[in-house]
Chains A and B, each alone.
Chain A
Amino acid sequence: MAVKKFVVGNFDDEAVLFPAVKKVRRAGYKIHDVFTPFPIHGLDHAMGLRDTSLHTAGFIYGITGTTTAVSFITWALTVDWQLNFGGKPFFSLPAWIPITFELTVLFAAVGMVLTFCYLCQLAPFVKKDHFNPRSTDDTFVMALECTDKTNEAEVIGFLESIGAKEVKVDYKETGWWLGRYDKDTKRFEKKAEAVH
């Protein structure tokens, strides 16, 4: 598997990170990703990420649930097996509203969570790497992807100038997930030496 080179800057304050993201993008560097311990509203826009369509997916799943419930109950009680409840109409929609509602919510919730896990590639036993374990604690980690033409020293100097506390060069495997989380993150550096 190919190994990619990154310049990784660590920030200890989101108030420094915001302008840094802006400056990095203006300077024309490609941000691979920013890893943060908690959600920072507006950072996605600052990085130029498009809005997520997860809401739309949730809506579609919900409608699917509604349709499933109404059409299935209609078929079961009016076509397949008509049950006479005191002469009431077979098609008794008001009595089906509770189940229709529940299935709408169930389909939307389950569908959205599965979609979320699929899009983010999250699942049990999936291992990923995020450059700095402290990015789930108190550090905001910005990873810039390097090409053959990248002048590492220049990028490192630039990141330091915009407030990064600790900047280093890192190598990660590529793939549908980036690298992998493992007990020893250093093993990727050994692999990287082979590429050099």
Chain B
Amino acid sequence: MALLRYESQVRPPLVDGSKDYHQVTEDICRPVEAKPSRLWWMGFLISVALLIFGIVSVTMEVMYGTGQWNLNKTIGWGWDITNFVWWVGIGHAGTLISAILLLFRQGWRTGVNRAAEAMTIFAVMCAGQFPIWHMGRVWNAFFVLPYANTRGPLWVNFNSPLLWDVFAISTYFTVSLLFWYSGLLPDLATLRDRAKEKWRKAFYGVAAFGWTGSTKHWQRHEALSLVLAGLSTPLVLSVHTIVSFDFATSVVPGWHTTIFPPYFVAGAIFSGFAMVQTLLLVTRKVLALEDYITIEHIEVMNKVIVLTGSIVGIAYLTELFMAWYSHVDYEWFAFKENRLSLSSPYGWSYWLMMGCNVLSPQIFWFRKMRRNLLVTFFMSILVNIGMWFERFVIIVTSVYRDYLPSAWSTYYTPTIWEVGFYMGTFGLFFTCYFLFSKFFPVIALAEIKHILKRSGENYKEKMDEVEEETTEEFGGKHGHDHGA
């Protein structure tokens, strides 16, 4: 017998039993020709059932989308970013009051600027918490900084609005802190010179940096304040502009609009002034500073609130109009179904926002209301609730129903830890404010003295008798005889 291929004897046989060709045919055809066994039927039916279940599942997916699988990554931003934007917004009033109103030569700012600046700094500190802890792996937070690293070198993405935010918020915090503290130096020196207890002398001695009130120092101090005010003015506008870019440069319906920067800045000033009102109404009462934070200050800030509230209102209506006019289905859907419709899950929050931010401040068109402390206090709380809901509406109503209707089934509710984190920033904010109001002068002392002869009540009464002369004119008249 000629072998086609040699097979070694040491290998075991591949076919057991002594089979001939026919036996092989018999053995292998038998199961096909015989009736299926009970075991076969059991296994087969289970398999078919699974297959049918699979077909039904895929049919459900085709009919209702991948949401049938609970694939769902819509709500990546919830309370955290809402709170971030809310706190940053509040942190705008201080710099607005101290910088922009300084450039506009608004004398009334002197009564409220120091406390408002402090509030700004504390609010920005609170705001900064949210993006940092939102990173999850917070120990890697320093990855946002562009430093020579061991990862490539892979630089941060300088084209990303989220990185712009890093620069904007940190610059804003630094500049606000410098502006606030350089303004505080002369007042801390006053406290140092009045100090009697040892710890006070030591504390304010260190804090005042050795300020003396020398004329040359005042000259430089004035120059510094003016330039810092000039720098802070575009800075404060840039910060909320850049925060709004986080949304506006994305392609999420309801976010992708060019109106966002001015709309956000107006909203920031609006909520910031409301928070200033809340704090100062309490501060002036508790610290008995009613003569410095007067009803005039309250009234003028209420005017700012009604102005900025109305700007925000116009912005709401404009984006609504643009959503309809653009003929973009997704954009219009976001507004019509997710926000305007009261039968939609979050419709209530849109109308709460409208009521608090647009309708309620309109009572400040009446002088009597503007000068009513109780109404002002109530309104300041209402506005801040409204402005919180503005951010909530923008973020959550846009992301909980995204382009993929499959993911719509979720109704976003915060967990206790999310709420607790937000409450914690209130703790941070008020702890700082309490320490500030105890250990630092809440009113800009030197600045008040500077305007006292112009705006002090006793001096105003004497004005009729006195020849009118500003300090600049006065200085000019008496100052330019250098050769003498």
Contacts and interface: CB of A to CB of B under 8 A. Distances in A.
15 contacts: A21-B479, A40-B471, A42-B472, A46-B475, A47-B479, A52-B220, A76-B146, A99-B158, A101-B234, A109-B174, A109-B228, A121-B210, A122-B209, A128-B212, A137-B193
Interface centre among A18, A101, A135, by most B CB within 10 Å? A101
A106 B212 contact: no
B175 A105 contact: yes
Contact of A105 (B171, B210, B213, B216): B171
A126 interface: yes
A119 interface: yes
B214 A35 contact: yes
B194 interface: yes
A45 B245 CA distance: 47
Contacts of A126: 209-210
Interface size class of chain A, counting residues whose CB lies under 8 Å from the partner chain: 35 or more
Contact of A18 (B161, B216, B238, B474): B474
Interface string A35-62: 1111111111111110110110010001
B214 A117 contact: no
A113 interface: yes
B164 A98 contact: yes
Interface of B: 146, 152-155, 157-159, 161, 163-164, 167-168, 171, 174-175, 178-179, 182, 185-186, 189-190, 192-194, 198, 201, 205-207, 209-224, 227-228, 231-232, 234-235, 238, 242, 245, 446-447, 449-450, 471-472, 474-476, 478-482, 484
Given A42-B478, A44-B218, A108-B231, 19 more contacts: A14-B471, A34-B215, A35-B212, A35-B215, A37-B449, A43-B218, A52-B216, A58-B227, A77-B159, A80-B153, A95-B158, A96-B158, A98-B168, A98-B245, A106-B175, A110-B175, A120-B217, A123-B210, A127-B210
Contact of B190 (A55, A108, A137): A137
Given A42-B474, A112-B228, A133-B193, A81 B214 contact: no
A63 to B, nearest CB: 13
B218 A39 contact: yes
Query: What are the nearest 6 A-B pairs in CB distance?
Result: A42-B475, A46-B479, A126-B210, A130-B212, A133-B193, A26-B484
B238 A98 contact: yes
B224 A134 contact: no
B260 to A, nearest CB: 14
Contacts of A48: 482
